[in-house]
Amino acid sequence: MIRHALWLYFRFTLSLRDVEELLAERGIEVSYETIRCWHLDEMVVKVGGKRMWLWRAVEDEGEVLDGAVRQTLRVLASDVGCAKLYTGLGY
């Protein structure tokens, strides 16, 4: 649910209130203020000797809400809907 909310926000450049309304239509009640407190955190980790990307949705107090591990940044960015954040950064 958190990944979907962040995907909506970044992929379609919606307002936080728009995301709140779209989630409400799916039966998920969450305040736009709550969505505002979420952010994405990324880091490189080695798993089995291979370089992997670990992404986490984190709230403003540091609690991890959701996470994913992918082999490439490009694949993960499209999964989460944040590819536009990395445009022009060489990833």
Interval 34-62: pLDDT, tens: 888 887 777 889 999 999 888 888 887 88
Mean pLDDT of 3-14: 82
Composition of the chain by helix, strand, coil, percent to 5: 40, 25, 30
Residue 91 domain-assigned (yes or no): no
Residue 6 near residue 65 (C-beta atoms within 8 A): no
Q: What are phi and psi of 58, to 5 degrees?
A: -125, 140
What per-residue confidence (pLDDT) applies to 79? 53
Average pLDDT, the chain: 77
Mean pLDDT of 4-28: 87
Number of separate domains in the chain:
1
Residue 31 domain-assigned (yes or no): yes
pLDDT of residue 63 exceeding 50: yes
Residue 69 near residue 52 (C-beta atoms within 8 A): yes
- In the structure encoding, which two tokens stand for residue 22, read together? 């779209």
- Write out the residue range of the structural domain in which residue 34 sits: 2-86
